[in-house]
Amino acid sequence: MPVEPDFGAEIGIDHATQRGAAEDPLMDKPAPARRRAETLDYIQSMLGQLRIMADTERCGMLAYLIEMAYVEAGDVIRGERLSNVGLNKRNTSA
């Protein structure tokens, strides 16, 4: 069975060192935080696979947009960006 390529590795992200491979920091978190972290990891993984698929099909813009979502998910995982940026804001000028 072929191994799915890790998109993160293609752009220089090592998931093992991203959060520390020596121990699993998720085990120290309460259940809701652990579930959220696992969900975000899954989302990032799926985005990586979708980006590869889009690139393979020569859908450059789609691959780029998926890559941006992948990077955003990584930022949220590392706590560098709030997960609710831009929510609940409306353009009231219209």
For residue 60, the model assigns a pLDDT of 97
pLDDT tens profile 35-56:
999 999 999 999 999 999 999 9
For residue 23, the model assigns a pLDDT of 59
Backbone φ, ψ for residue 69 (5° rounding) = -65, -35
Residues of the chain with pLDDT under 70: 1-27, 83-94
Q: In Å, how far are 84, 85, 89 from 92, measured between CA atoms?
A: 19, 17, 9
For residue 75, the model assigns a pLDDT of 93
CA nearest 75: which of 47, 42, 40, 48?
A: 40
How many residues can be counted in the chain?
Answer: 94
pTM for this entry: 0.59
**Domain boundaries of the chain, sorted by first residue:** 37-79
